[in-house]
Amino acid sequence: MDSVRLARIGAWMERYVETRKYPGCSVVIARNGKEVYHHATGQRDIERNLPFTRDTAVRIYSMTKPVTSVAIMMLAERGLFHLDAPVSDFIPAFKDMTCLLPGAMNIAQVKACQTPTLHHLLTHTSGLSYPFNPGLLPAVMNDDDMLFRPDQGPLEAMVNKVAELPLAFEPGTRWEYSVSIDILGRVVEVVSGKSLAEFFAEEILGPLGMHETAFSVPQTARDRFAALYTPLAGDAMALNSAQKGAETLRCVDDPLKSPFLDATMHSGGGGLIGTIDDYMKFAEMLRRGGEFGARLLSPQTVAFMRRNHLKGDIASMGPASFAEQPMEGMGFGLGGSVVIEPGRTRVPGSVGDFSWGGMASTFFWTDPVLDLSVVFFTQLSPSSSYPARAELKALVHGAVIA
């Protein structure tokens, strides 16, 4: 990789900070298992004038989803279930499901339907949704505050509450970003007999050496926990009513008062706090086929996860939801998106790139063709505020010369 071209990444990051788009940010890039670039700039806490450093702890939100998906596949490798099992086998509240009729005008217009399977949940084709998506089901979820926030525990109660609602569509017929992975977090608890926090700590985070990643900010990282900012005038996650505010960096979660300091909800869809070096260990585990110091999965299982599990790309599945990635030319595996045609994504990349991001604009991808892993951290919600992910991929690919 060309060092001069890599240096463009730091300049790009500094422009984001100088123009008050991001408070601060950091990036780590590894090629063939060796670090080739790191840069950090800006502030993790503007109000207290604290720098955004390499060891800053951040909310990774939906970058928790790949971790939960790995947990599910670890249990599947042990023969404890198969992916076509209905979720009601583990969570009885999901028996006798209904879904909204096509063109339904209210939440009561439903018909009986199939119960989602574990595979439907893993691939966001379950019929579940998120409160910040458009539509009838998201509106009800929003009214009932079903966002799996860190202060909304315990997990079991919220999952059973979701099960009381109809699905937005017949499982398997569409793709819609959803709380599906939170439901899978509860499946991990039921099957393993451990809380999700215990399973993560004992079987994923601990073995990988991710000692500063958890659902509550680790004691060792509390003096390095970042504030969360938004350019919106209202709720940083209320995408249906999003309006730009006069202040581009308005603090919406003070690190000294954050509910993440003592989380009661173990959200497998968006609850983890961590550092960039910790997450690079997870990304490298995926790139290396399931092993980084300890083996979590077989290479065959990781290769299976990294395949496209949809009939085509996400765009062909009629999504009406927010998503962390482009939808054209992009498929979805188990835990993240998969590039199936780089040209159609309009973002430089390789076939097989596996990636996902979080609502606070964090992002990672691993590239099996270039043996590349990239992790980018900042703290600005929503992640759709700026085209940083596409720009970062172009910058990284522009630095690869052999």
Per-residue pLDDT reduced to its tens digit, 354-366: 999 999 999 999 9
- Catalogue the E-assigned strands of 46-95: 50-51, 58-59
Residues 153 and 249 in one domain: no
Residue pair 297/70 in contact (Cβ under 8 Å)? The answer is: yes
What is the number of structural domains in the chain?
2
Residues 247 and 309 in one domain: yes
Q: What is the C-alpha separation between 109 and 66, in angstroms, rounded?
A: 34
Q: Tens digit of pLDDT for each residue in 39-82?
A: 999 999 999 999 999 999 999 999 999 999 999 999 999 999 99
What 201-206 contacts at long range (C-beta under 8 Å, 24+ apart), as own/partner pairs, is: 203/71, 203/74, 203/296, 204/67, 204/70, 204/71, 204/74, 204/282, 204/296, 205/278
Q: What is the mean pLDDT of residues 15-36?
A: 98
Residues 146 and 45 in one domain: no
> Residue 347 belongs to a domain with what CATH number?
3.40.710.10
Look up the domain containing 120 and give its range.
Answer: 83-191
Q: What is the C-alpha separation between 265 and 250, in angstroms, rounded?
A: 25
Of 144, 174, 191, the last residue of a domain is 191
User: Binning pLDDT at 50, 70 and 90, where does residue 324 land?
Assistant: low
Q: What is the mean pLDDT of residues 300-314?
A: 97
Q: Tens digit of pLDDT for each residue in 164-192?
A: 999 999 999 999 999 999 999 999 999 99
Residues 350 and 229 in one domain: yes
Q: Residue 94 contacts by C-beta under 8 Å, 6 or more apart in sequence?
A: 86, 87, 88, 115, 116, 163, 183
Residues 215 and 352 in one domain: yes
Q: Which of 153, 164, 219, 165 is nearest to 189 (CA)?
A: 153
> Residue 235 falls within a domain, yes or no?
yes
Q: Tens digit of pLDDT for each residue in 187-196?
A: 999 999 999 9
Of 191, 213, 234, the last residue of a domain is 191
Residues 215 and 331 in one domain: yes
Q: Is 93 exposed, middle or buried (0-12, 13-18, 19+ CB in 10 A)?
A: middle
